[in-house]
Amino acid sequence: MSRTSTRILILGGGFAGVFTAKALRRLARRHADVPVEIELVSDRNYFVFQPLLPEVAAGTINAQDAVTPLRLLLKDVKVRMGEVRHIDFAQQTVELAQGSKRIPQHRPYDHLVLALGQRTMLERFPGFAEHSFCMRDLAHAHALRNHVLQCLEHADVTENPALKQSLLTFVVAGAGFSGVEIAGELHEMLERALPMYPAIKAAEIRTLLVQRGQRILPELPEKLGDYAAQKLSARGVTVMYGTSLARATADAVYTQDGRQINTRTLITTVGNGPTRLVEDLGLTLERGRILTTPAMQVAGHERLWALGDCAYVPLGEGCAPTTAQFAVAQANTLAANLFLKLRQLEPRAFDYQPRGTMASIGHYRAVAEVFGARLSGLSAWLLWRAFYIGMLPGFATRLRVALNWFFDYFLPRSIVQVKTTSEPAARVVHYAAGDVLFAPGQIVDGFYTVIRGSLESRVPNAGTPQHAPSENGPQPAAAEGEHFVRILGPGDHWGERSLSEGTHTMGWLTAVDDCEVLVLQRSDFVKLRQGLPPLRDYLDRIPEKIYPPALRSPRTRPAPDHNN
């Protein structure tokens, strides 16, 4: 294509971006007199059909059946994998980091389409960012799946009843489409996995769906919501109405009305907000979304368009809802408007009548409202699947996906836990007052630094504890005789000696009040200690400063690290 063609750059590879590219492509073929170059930038090289992610997490379908490579979906569109760092509206360039992400690239454009989606904003809920799972991308589905399988494996062998109960409690926050689908699919996965875990009884599993309002699926007519609620309850999912979660720690979640639920698994489907990039663009935001004209242009920017979840597109009295269906409808209008504009014609306002809505609730059941008719059960579920299969590119792909779904009905569900996600080296962990972080004889997994609140370290002066450690919680501190007690405030740290000397813990570490702790993983601590001289020097001076002489000698029993 010659340089006289108009360069259209689309940022984002979700429903909004992909369907805009497809629609532009179609129009470009029709209007050969208006030459355009279309380029789409995405930070992942595939399109993810988000509504299917709960099924990937549950193992109903293979990951690859919920995603399609962008390059396959957009055959005549230039696809560029990169991360958008900055947009210069005056220069009409976008700064990208691609590949090893070190060298910034600058892409010029004539028209720019923002289809940047939203992010999950959990800052309002203490502990959520660190201790909850979300469901936006394939990686999230994998992470949740592996975590749940880890809980089952551990619950099957532990002899501590309280730990077992906590491992088998699964909490989903929010009962909109996403929350209901996750709770339904997760519960089905747990039920189907049970035959493999002889020590876990079905009655021991608790799936809780926490909903602020008095009904689930508020997006659907009340009757369908009630049907879904009834089906979920019958299968063992407990819906907690009229409450919401206030905060989370590593071991529990707390409701607004003060109830504590011990769990290792919180999945959140609430808290959408603008991405950092959208926040930094300096455009007018309305409820965290980019305000557009009814024709989806950004006011004051002649060559800038926005659609999908990141955009506030006026519609009727309010704005278009942030669903995939509306994103696709907007994509078609936006592409048409862009061509109208290129041909010096007037763009039209976005208008759309939704065709219907569907929610899968697991176990081959769904609820749907299509063209005014209501469906529930297997028929709705089949419709839901047929709709997705229709979207896939190519007959053979459709057949393969359909067959995989068919086989899922007959085959035992796989419980393979693939640990591809490594823990981040440094993570922030929340603890509630009274939480026991460590008891004597345990393995120290990292270097703990207090950020907020305080911890108490209590070590018996006698040295090594008398009895073997047990999984049934810590021994009472008073029983051990004399103790060396130290209170750790912000900036104080714990674990450096056990990590350096390879020993088990000698005493207790408990949270005095609610606190935030920075945990640096064992292996990274060792690397940093060796590599960063100031850190090493500082740590080497600690024993003399903090511990009484009796506690300074090396320990008797090494705890080797066989991680490899």
Q: 164-183: which residues touch a copy of itself (CB under 8 A)?
A: 167
Please tell me whether residue 221 binds a copy of itself under the rule CB under 8 A.
Answer: no
Residue 24's nearest CA partner among 151, 105, 113 is 113
- What is the spatial distance between Cα 426 and Cα 447, in angstroms, rounded to a whole number? 9
Residue in 280, 286, 501, 540 binding a copy of itself, rule: CB under 8 A: 280
Nearer to a copy of itself, 6 or 166 (CB): 166
Q: Which of residues 415-474 bind a copy of itself (CB under 8 A)?
A: 415-422, 424-428, 438, 441-445, 449, 451, 468-469, 471
Give the shortest CB-130-to-a copy of itself separation in angstroms.
Answer: 11
Nearer to a copy of itself, 188 or 369 (CB): 188
Q: Which of residues 112-131 bind a copy of itself (CB under 8 A)?
A: 119
Q: Which of residues 331-390 bind a copy of itself (CB under 8 A)?
A: none
Please tell me whether residue 403 binds a copy of itself under the rule CB under 8 A.
Answer: yes
Please tell me whether residue 143 binds a copy of itself under the rule CB under 8 A.
Answer: yes
Nearer to a copy of itself, 103 or 373 (CB): 103
Nearer to a copy of itself, 130 or 188 (CB): 130
Rg (CA), the chain: 27
Largest Cα span, the chain: 90
The tokens of 480 are what?
A: 């051990």
Please tell me whether residue 538 binds a copy of itself under the rule CB under 8 A.
Answer: yes
Please tell me whether residue 226 binds a copy of itself under the rule CB under 8 A.
Answer: no
Q: Which amino acid is at 169?
A: T
Give the shortest CB-401-to-a copy of itself separation in angstroms.
Answer: 10
Angle, CA 229 vertex, CA 224 and CA 235 arms, to 5°? 130
Q: H helices within 53-168, ranges in order?
A: 53-58, 70-73, 128-131, 138-157, 161-167
Strands (E), 416-507: 426-431, 436-438, 446-452, 455-460, 483-488, 493-494
Report helix, strand or coil for 530.
Answer: helix
Please tell me whether residue 483 binds a copy of itself under the rule CB under 8 A.
Answer: no
Give the shortest CB-2-to-a copy of itself separation in angstroms.
Answer: 18
Please tell me whether residue 259 binds a copy of itself under the rule CB under 8 A.
Answer: no
Nearer to a copy of itself, 255 or 404 (CB): 404
Report helix, strand or coil for 505.
Answer: coil
DSSP β-ladder status, 426-431 and 493-494: unpaired
Are the C-beta atoms of residues 358 and 367 closer than 8 Å to each other?
yes
Residue in 7, 34, 35, 71 binding a copy of itself, rule: CB under 8 A: 71
Q: Which of residues 80-99 bind a copy of itself (CB under 8 A)?
A: 80-86, 97-99
Give the shortest CB-40-to-a copy of itself separation in angstroms.
Answer: 12
Q: How many CB atoms neighbour CB 243 within 10 A?
A: 14
Q: Which of residues 493-512 bind a copy of itself (CB under 8 A)?
A: 493, 504
- What is the spatial distance between Cα 60 and Cα 323, in angstroms, rounded to a whole number? 23
Nearer to a copy of itself, 5 or 62 (CB): 62
Residue 414's nearest CA partner among 98, 162, 164, 152 is 152
What residues contact 560, with CB distance under 8 A and at least 6 apart? 502
Q: Which of residues 35-64 bind a copy of itself (CB under 8 A)?
A: 44-46, 62-64
Please tell me whether residue 202 binds a copy of itself under the rule CB under 8 A.
Answer: no
- What is the spatial distance between Cα 391 and Cα 402, in angstroms, rounded to a whole number? 12
Please tell me whether residue 397 binds a copy of itself under the rule CB under 8 A.
Answer: yes
Give the shortest CB-48-to-a copy of itself separation in angstroms.
Answer: 9
Question: What crossing angle do the helices spanning 138-157 and 177-193 adopt, rounded to 10°?
Answer: 40
Please tell me whether residue 191 binds a copy of itself under the rule CB under 8 A.
Answer: no
